[in-house]
C-alpha cells in the first residue's frame, strides 16, 4: 500500500494552486466540497432504508493560453491525496493547453482570504434525528393501529465549500440542507395525501404534526366525487406553485432568450426583458441572504453552460429581481453571456427564490374559503416541457385533489394530467396569498430553498383524468 | 475483448473487503456486503461548434451494507484504507442499531449461488477515456459543422456523456466479483428560428445511448453520416409543417419513440418495489399490483415483454448485480398478460410464493459507492414478431393516421396509468403512405388501453435498442442507465393532442 496522504481542504486548495503555477498555468481555481448526509426512509409503516454518507469532491480548473484566447481544463475527483492531486492538476493544465480558446473566458475573479477560511468542514450525523426518529416511530405504530399507511423520507446534509483561486480568492462557506416528505394512504390504498417541508436542522420538524395533517387530509377523502377533465377554478397551494415556478426559474437563461429559442425571446429578436408578464404585482427574486433560505453567496461552477461559467467561480451573487411588479427585469447570465446580450451585469443563477405578490396576504385556507366551486390541489408531479415556445408544461396532480364548494373542502376528486405554462399562469391568476417557505414535491430534493404564495387560477387546464390514486 | 483497467485492479480491493466484512461479522452482522466502485465520467458539450464545456470526473469510494438484528444498515466512505473500511463497517452496523426500533420487518434474502473471484467486462471496442480529448472534440466539431453550415439551421448543440464504471463486490457468503462497464450517450440537436414570426423548433438525432465505447460515435451501431445529412431537411419541413388537428388517430410508432413509452408504462410499472409501495413517497406505485400477477390484461395478445440484464450493448446489462446475483432474462408480459416483475433478493424472498421462484432476477443497483442498492430497472424490451412486417408495411395498413419518430417530451402519473409523449417528427399517414410532417403533436393514453390497442408489431428488421442514461428513482435520488429494445408497432385509435391548443392559443 502506498503512503499517500489525505489532505485537508485548505491544503488541497493551496497545493493545487501551487502545482498549477509550477506547471505554468495562467490561472487556476480549486473547489473542494465536503459533504456529509444522513437519511431515513420509510414505507408501509416501517423503516426501509437508511444511510450515513460522507463524500468529498475536488475540482481543478486550470486556464492557459492568455494572449491568444484563454482555454480551461476541468478535472474533478471524489477525493484526493497528495499524489493524486499532482496528477489531477497536471491533467487540468494539459487539457487547458490542448483546448481551443473558450468563448466564456474572462479574468479569474479577484479576492482575499475570508475570516473563516481556516475552519474545518462542518458535519451532520444521524444524531440530527434524535427527536424526530422516535416520534416518527410512534406515528408509524399509530398508523398501523388506525389502518392507514405511511411512507416518507427525511434527509439532512451539510456541504462545506472551499473555493480558492490563483487571483487570491479564499472562500469558505458551510450550509445545511434538510427536508422531509411524507405520504399517507388510506387502509385500502384508494386515497393519498402528502406533506413536505424544508428545514435546516430538524428542530422545527414535528413528526406528530405531519401525521396529523396527513390524517386531516385523508379525512377529507372519506367522500369522493368524480370530476371531468376541463378548465377548472383551481387553488394551487405554495408547494404546487413551487413545482411550477422552479421550472420557470430554470428557463430564465439569457442566452437562450437572446438566440430566440425561449419563451423569454422577443419574436422580432432580442429578449423580453422589460416586457410585462403579468397585470398583477408579481415579484420573483433571489437573494443569497434571504432569511431562512440562506444559500451560497458566491458563484460555484464546475462546468460551463448557459448562465454558468467556470471563469466566474467566486463571483459575488447579489440579490436579483427576475420579475418585479409583473415586469421581466433580468435573465440569468454569466459575465460572458451578459456581454453577449448587453445586460448591465452578470446575474448568475442563485440557489433560492421567493415568488411574491405585492399586498397579498392570507393562506391556502383563505383562498379556499373565498371559492364557490373549484379544486384544491396538493402538489404536482412528473412535470416536463411540452413546448418551449410557450413554456407549456405537462404533469399530473398527485396525492390529493379536493373539491371545494361554498368555501369548504367537501370531498376528494380524481387526479388529472395538466397542460399549462407557468408564464401564462402568472398572467391569469386572480387571487394570491402570502408567500411562505414551501417545498416543491417534484424538485425539492435538490432545489429546496423556495418561498411561494398560494394562487387561485380561474381556468387551470386539466387535460385528462388520471386513474392514479 | 477489453480487460479490467489495470489501475483499478491495483487498488487493494480484497484487503479492504476482508477488513470490512470481518469487522461486520465481529459486530454480529448476519450478512454483510462490500463494494468498491470507481466511476469515471466525461462530459463534452459544444455550442454552435465551439467547445462550451469539457469535464472529466472520477468518483471513487467504498460502501458496506449489513443485516444486523434483522435490520439493514448502510454506510459509505471515500478513503481507501483498511481503517476506513473498518470504520464504515462500524457505521453501517450503528445505522442498523439506530434503525432497529422503527423496523417492523426481519430482513431475509433469497439464496443465490456463490461466485468466487469472477470477472465480467461489458461489450465495447474503444474505451472513450483512452482517446485524447482533442480527437473527440474534433469529431464532434465536424458533426456540428455539418449541421451549422446547412440552410435553415440557426444553432447546434452537441453533448456526449461517457462513463467507465469499475466495481468490486464481495459478500459474507463468499461471492466476489470485479466488473467493468462502459457506456456512451450522444445528443446532437439543430435549432431553427423564424425571424419573422419568432417561432422556433428543433430536431435531434435519434441515436440512443448505448453500452458501447467511442466506436459508436464513428459509425459502429449508428449511421451518423446519414442521419446528420437528413436533419436540416427534416427540421425545415417541420418548421413549414401544418399544425395537427386534434383527435383520434391510428398511429405507427417508430422504435426511436416507442422505447420511452415502454420505459415509463411497462418498465417502471413492473418494478416490484413500486408495486409493493416502497416508492410511494417519491417515484410512485404501480397499477400492476402483485395480486394481479398472472391475470392482469396488460395489452393485446401479441404483446411479449421481457426483462433482461444480458442484452449485448444494453445499458442495464451486467455480469452480476449489486447483491451478487448473476444477470438473467425473464418474461414480464406474455400473450398480453402480466407474468413477472423486476426484483431484488429481499423482495424475492418475501414474495417467493407469489412469484413462484425462490431466486432474485438480479435487479439490485446502486449508482455509486455513496448510495444504497435498490431495485433498478433491467433492460425491458418489447419482442418483435419473428416474421413480422416492416415499418412501411405497418404504415400501409393505416388509412388516416400519424407515424411518430424520435422521443422528446414525456410524463406519466404516479401509478403509471396516464401518459403523454411528444416526439421529434410526426408524419401524416394518408391511405397507407406518408403524407408530409405535421407539428404540435402529443399522444396521450392510459397504459392498458394503449397496449390493448396494439394491433401489430414489426419484425426483427425494425428492432432498435433504445434507452436512457439518467433514469431517476429513490430517495436519496439515484440515476440509472437502461436500454429498451422494440420493433415498430401499430396502435389503433390513439388520442392526439394539439399542444398549441393545449396552451390555450
Chain B residues inside the 8 Å CB shell of A46: 102-105
pLDDT value for B78: 87
CA distance B92 to chain A (A): 8
Domain A9-213 belongs to what topology?
A: PmbA/TldD fold (3.30.2290)
Decide if pLDDT at A411 tops 60. Answer: yes
Percentage of chain A beyond pLDDT 70 is 99
pLDDT digits (tens, 9 = 90+) for B236-258: 999 999 999 999 999 999 999 99
Complex ipTM value? 0.95
Measured distance CA(A309)–CA(A299) in Å, rounded: 9
The stretch B44-55 carries a mean pLDDT of 94
Decide if pLDDT at A25 tops 80. Answer: yes
Place of cell 455539418: B146
pLDDT value for B505: 85
Query: Is the Cα dihedral B467, B468, B472, B477 positive or negative?
Result: positive
Decide if pLDDT at B6 tops 70. Answer: yes
The domain limits of chain B are 6-240, 247-502
Decide if pLDDT at B425 tops 70. Answer: yes
Return the beta strands (E) in B344-488 as ranges: 364-365, 374-375, 379-382, 400-412, 418-430, 433-438, 441-446, 454-457, 464-473, 478-486
* Average pLDDT, rounded, for chain B: 97
Q: How far is CA B445 from the centre of its chain?
A: 22
pLDDT value for A2: 45
Do the Cβ atoms of B502 and A392 come within 8 Å?
A: yes
The stretch B153-166 carries a mean pLDDT of 98
Do the Cβ atoms of A468 and B287 come within 8 Å?
A: yes
Measured distance CA(B278)–CA(B276) in Å, rounded: 6
Do the Cβ atoms of A78 and B59 come within 8 Å?
A: yes
User: What residues does A139 pair with on adjacent strands?
Assistant: none
B 177-216 residues with CB below 8 A of A?
Answer: 191, 193, 195-200, 202
The stretch B482-491 carries a mean pLDDT of 98
Decide if pLDDT at A100 tops 90. Answer: no
pLDDT value for A1: 40
Chain B residues inside the 8 Å CB shell of A398: 284, 413-414
Mutate to test the interface with A, among B413, B439, B449 (most CBs of A within 10 A): B413
The stretch A186-213 carries a mean pLDDT of 97
CA distance B73 to chain A (A): 7
Q: DSSP secondary-structure letter at A317?
A: P
Decide if pLDDT at B69 tops 90. Answer: yes
Question: Do you know the residue count of chain A?
Answer: 469
Return the beta strands (E) in B285-396 as ranges: 305-308, 329-334, 337-338, 364-365, 374-375, 379-382
Chain B residues inside the 8 Å CB shell of A386: 409, 420, 422, 442, 499, 502
* Average pLDDT, rounded, for chain A: 95
**A165-198: buried (b, 16+ CB within 10 Å) or exposed (e) per residue?**
bbbebbbbbbbbbbbbbbbbbbeeeebbbbbbbb
Confidence of residue B99 (pLDDT cuts 50, 70, 90): confident
Confidence of residue A3 (pLDDT cuts 50, 70, 90): low
Measured distance CA(A215)–CA(B172) in Å, rounded: 43
B 415-474 residues with CB below 8 A of A?
Answer: 415-418, 420, 422, 440, 442, 444, 446
Q: Using a CB–CB cutoff of 8 Å, tell me whether B276 touches chain A.
A: yes
pLDDT digits (tens, 9 = 90+) for A267-319: 888 999 999 999 999 999 999 999 999 999 999 999 999 999 999 999 999 99
The stretch B222-229 carries a mean pLDDT of 98
Place of cell 476541468: A74
Do the Cβ atoms of B502 and A388 come within 8 Å?
A: no
Nearest residue, CB atoms, A185 vs list B47, B278, B280: B280
Do the Cβ atoms of B411 and A417 come within 8 Å?
A: yes
Own/partner long-range contacts of B95-98 (Cβ < 8 Å, ≥24 apart): B95/A50, B95/A51, B95/A52, B95/A126, B96/B29, B96/B66, B96/B67, B96/B68, B96/B69, B96/B71, B96/B72, B97/B68, B97/B69, B97/B71, B97/B73, B98/A50, B98/A126, B98/A133
CATH annotation of B6-240 = 3.30.2290.10
The stretch B340-350 carries a mean pLDDT of 98
Measured distance CA(B43)–CA(A304) in Å, rounded: 11
pLDDT value for B76: 92
Decide if pLDDT at A266 tops 50. Answer: yes
The stretch A261-269 carries a mean pLDDT of 94
Q: DSSP secondary-structure letter at B118?
A: E
**A86-98: buried (b, 16+ CB within 10 Å) or exposed (e) per residue?**
bebbbbbbbbbbb
Nearest residue, CB atoms, A99 vs list B54, B102, B440: B54
Measured distance CA(B279)–CA(B292) in Å, rounded: 19
Residue from B20, B480, B62, B56 nearest A54 by CA: B62
The stretch B146-163 carries a mean pLDDT of 98
pLDDT digits (tens, 9 = 90+) for B432-484: 999 999 999 999 999 999 999 999 999 999 999 999 999 999 999 999 999 99
CA distance B140 to chain A (A): 14
Angle at B266 between CA B260 and CA B272, to 5 degrees: 130
Measured distance CA(B207)–CA(B317) in Å, rounded: 19
Do the Cβ atoms of A40 and B99 come within 8 Å?
A: yes
pLDDT digits (tens, 9 = 90+) for A110-159: 999 999 999 999 999 989 999 999 999 999 999 999 999 999 999 999 99
Minimum Cα–Cα distance from B446: chain A residue: A466
Nearest residue, CB atoms, A464 vs list B60, B75, B418: B418
pLDDT value for A67: 63
Decide if pLDDT at B16 tops 80. Answer: yes
The domain limits of chain A are 9-213, 223-469
Cα atoms in the 13 Å half-sphere on the side-chain side of A455: 28
Chain B residues inside the 8 Å CB shell of A259: 154-155, 191, 193
What separation in angstroms does the CA of B444 have from each of A55, A467, B122, B407, B449? 42, 13, 37, 14, 11
Minimum mean pLDDT among A259-263, A265-269, B391-395: which range? A265-269
Q: DSSP secondary-structure letter at A312?
A: G
Angle at A200 between CA A197 and CA A205, to 5 degrees: 45
Measured distance CA(B79)–CA(A2) in Å, rounded: 13
Q: Could you tell me how many helices (H) and strands (E) chain A has, helices first?
A: 9, 20
- All three cell numbers of A75, joined, read 478535472
Amino acid at each position: 500500500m502506498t503512503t499517500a496522504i489525505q489532505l485537508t481542504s485548505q491544503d488541497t486548495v493551496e497545493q493545487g494552486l501551487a502545482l498549477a503555477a509550477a506547471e505554468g498555468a495562467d490561472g487556476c481555481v480549486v473547489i473542494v466540497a465536503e459533504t456529509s448526509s444522513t437519511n431515513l426512509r420509510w414505507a408501509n409503516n416501517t423503516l426501509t432504508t437508511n444511510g450515513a454518507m460522507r463524500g468529498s469532491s475536488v475540482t481543478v480548473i486550470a486556464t492557459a493560453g492568455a494572449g491568444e484566447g484563454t482555454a480551461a481544463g476541468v478535472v474533478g475527483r471524489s477525493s484526493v491525496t497528495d499524489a493524486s492531486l499532482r496528477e489531477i492538476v497536471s491533467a487540468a493544465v494539459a487539457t487547458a493547453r490542448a483546448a481551443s480558446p473558450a468563448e466564456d473566458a474572462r479574468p479569474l475573479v479577484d479576492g482575499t482570504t475570508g475570516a473563516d477560511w481556516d475552519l474545518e468542514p462542518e458535519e451532520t450525523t444521524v444524531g440530527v434525528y434524535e427527536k424526530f426518529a422516535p416520534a416518527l416511530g410512534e406515528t408509524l405504530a399509530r398508523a398501523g393501529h388506525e389502518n392507514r399507511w405511511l411512507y416518507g423520507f427525511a434527509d439532512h446534509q451539510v456541504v462545506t465549500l472551499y473555493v480558492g483561486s490563483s487571483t487570491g480568492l479564499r472562500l469558505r462557506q458551510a450550509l445545511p440542507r434538510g427536508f422531509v416528505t411524507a405520504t399517507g394512504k388510506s387502509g385500502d390504498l384508494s386515497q393519498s395525501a402528502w406533506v413536505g417541508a424544508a428545514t435546516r436542522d430538524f428542530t422545527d420538524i414535528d413528526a406528530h404534526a405531519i401525521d396529523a395533517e396527513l390524517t386531516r387530509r385523508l379525512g377529507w377523502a372519506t367522500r369522493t366525487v368524480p370530476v371531468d377533465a376541463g378548465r377548472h377554478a383551481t387553488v394551487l397551494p405554495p408547494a404546487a406553485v413551487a413545482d411550477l415556478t422552479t421550472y420557470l426559474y430554470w428557463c430564465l437563461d439569457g442566452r437562450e432568450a437572446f438566440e430566440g429559442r425561449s419563451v423569454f425571446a422577443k419574436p422580432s429578436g432580442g429578449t423580453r426583458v422589460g416586457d410585462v408578464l403579468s397585470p398583477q404585482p408579481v415579484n420573483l427574486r433571489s437573494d443569497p441572504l434571504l432569511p431562512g433560505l440562506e444559500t451560497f453567496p458566491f458563484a460555484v461552477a464546475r462546468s460551463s453552460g448557459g448562465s454558468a461559467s467556470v471563469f466566474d467561480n467566486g463571483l459575488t451573487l447579489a440579490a436579483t429581481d427576475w420579475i418585479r411588479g409583473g415586469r421581466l427585469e433580468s435573465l440569468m447570465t454569466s459575465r460572458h453571456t451578459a456581454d453577449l446580450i448587453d445586460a448591465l451585469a452578470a446575474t448568475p443563477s442563485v440557489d433560492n427564490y421567493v415568488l411574491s405578490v405585492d399586498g397579498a396576504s392570507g393562506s391556502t385556507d383563505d383562498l379556499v374559503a373565498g371559492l364557490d366551486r373549484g379544486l384544491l390541489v396538493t402538489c404536482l408531479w412528473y412535470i416536463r416541457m411540452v413546448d418551449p415556445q410557450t413554456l407549456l408544461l405537462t404533469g399530473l396532480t398527485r396525492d390529493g385533489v379536493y373539491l371545494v364548494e361554498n368555501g369548504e373542502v367537501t370531498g376528494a376528486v380524481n387526479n388529472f394530467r395538466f397542460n399549462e405554462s407557468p408564464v401564462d399562469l402568472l398572467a391569469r391568476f386572480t387571487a394570491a396569498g402570502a408567500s411562505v417557505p414551501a417545498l416543491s414535491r417534484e424538485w425539492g430534493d435538490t432545489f429546496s430553498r423556495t418561498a411561494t404564495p398560494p394562487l387561485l387560477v380561474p381556468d387551470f387546464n386539466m387535460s385528462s383524468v388520471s386513474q392514479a390514486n | 475483448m477489453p480487460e479490467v483497467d489495470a489501475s483499478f485492479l491495483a487498488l487493494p480491493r480484497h484487503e479492504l473487503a476482508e477488513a470490512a466484512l470481518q469487522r461486520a461479522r465481529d459486530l454480529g452482522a448476519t450478512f454483510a456486503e462490500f463494494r468498491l466502485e470507481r466511476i469515471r465520467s466525461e462530459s463534452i458539450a459544444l455550442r454552435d461548434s465551439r467547445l462550451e464545456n469539457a469535464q472529466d470526473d472520477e468518483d471513487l469510494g467504498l460502501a458496506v451494507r449489513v443485516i444486523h438484528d434483522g435490520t439493514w444498515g448502510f454506510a459509505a466512505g471515500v478513503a481507501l484504507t483498511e481503517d476506513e473500511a473498518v470504520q464504515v463497517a462500524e457505521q453501517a452496523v450503528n445505522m442498523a442499531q439506530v434503525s432497529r426500533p422503527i423496523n417492523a420487518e426481519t430482513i431475509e434474502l433469497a439464496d443465490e449461488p456463490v461466485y468466487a473471484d469472477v470477472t465480467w467486462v461489458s461489450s465495447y471496442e474503444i474505451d472513450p477515456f483512452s482517446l485524447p480529448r482533442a480527437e473527440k472534440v474534433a469529431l464532434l466539431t465536424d458533426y456540428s459543422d455539418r449541421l451549422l453550415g446547412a440552410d435553415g439551421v440557426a444553432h447546434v448543440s452537441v453533448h456526449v456523456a461517457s462513463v467507465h464504471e469499475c466495481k468490486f463486490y464481495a459478500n459474507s457468503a463468499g461471492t466476489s466479483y470485479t466488473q467493468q462497464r462502459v457506456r456512451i450517450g450522444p445528443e446532437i440537436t439543430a435549432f431553427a428560428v423564424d425571424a419573422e414570426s419568432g417561432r422556433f423548433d428543433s430536431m435531434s438525432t435519434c441515436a440512443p445511448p448505448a453500452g458501447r465505447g467511442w466506436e459508436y460515435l464513428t459509425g459502429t451501431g449508428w449511421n451518423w453520416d446519414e442521419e446528420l445529412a437528413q436533419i436540416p431537411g427534416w427540421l425545415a419541413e417541420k418548421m413549414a409543417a401544418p399544425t395537427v388537428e386534434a383527435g383520434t388517430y391510428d398511429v405507427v410508432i417508430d422504435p426511436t419513440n416507442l422505447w420511452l413509452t415502454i420505459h415509463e408504462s411497462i418498465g417502471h410499472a413492473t418494478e416490484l418495489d413500486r408495486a409493493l409501495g416502497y416508492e410511494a413517497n417519491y417515484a410512485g406505485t404501480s397499477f400492476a399490483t402483485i395480486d394481479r400477477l398472472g391475470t392482469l390484461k396488460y395489452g393485446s395478445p401479441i404483446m411479449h415483454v421481457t426483462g433482461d440484464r444480458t442484452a449485448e450493448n444494453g445499458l442495464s446489462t451486467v455480469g452480476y448485480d449489486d447483491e451478487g446475483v448473476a444477470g438473467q432474462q425473464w418474461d414480464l408480459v406474455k400473450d398480453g398478460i402480466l407474468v413477472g416483475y423486476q426484483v431484488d433478493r429481499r423482495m424475492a424472498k418475501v414474495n417467493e410464493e407469489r412469484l413462484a421462484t425462490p431466486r432474485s432476477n438480479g435487479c439490485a443497483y446502486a449508482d455509486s459507492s455513496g448510495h444504497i442498492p435498490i431495485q433498478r430497472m433491467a433492460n425491458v424490451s418489447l419482442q418483435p414478431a419473428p416474421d413480422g412486417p416492416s415499418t412501411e408495411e405497418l404504415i400501409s395498413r393505416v388509412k388516416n393516421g400519424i407515424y411518430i419518430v424520435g422521443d422528446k417530451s414525456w410524463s406519466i402519473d404516479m401509478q403509471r396509468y396516464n401518459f403523454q409523449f411528444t416526439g421529434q417528427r410526426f408524419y401524416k399517414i394518408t391511405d397507407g403512405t406518408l403524407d408530409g410532417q405535421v407539428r404540435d403533436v402529443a399522444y396521450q393514453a392510459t397504459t392498458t388501453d394503449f397496449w390493448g390497442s396494439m394491433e401489430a408489431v414489426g419484425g426483427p428488421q425494425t428492432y432498435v435498442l433504445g434507452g436512457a442514461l439518467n433514469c431517476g428513482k429513490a430517495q436519496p435520488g439515484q440515476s440509472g442507465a437502461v436500454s429498451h429494445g422494440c420493433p415498430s408497432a401499430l396502435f389503433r385509435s390513439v388520442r392526439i393532442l394539439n399542444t398549441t391548443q393545449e396552451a390555450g392559443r
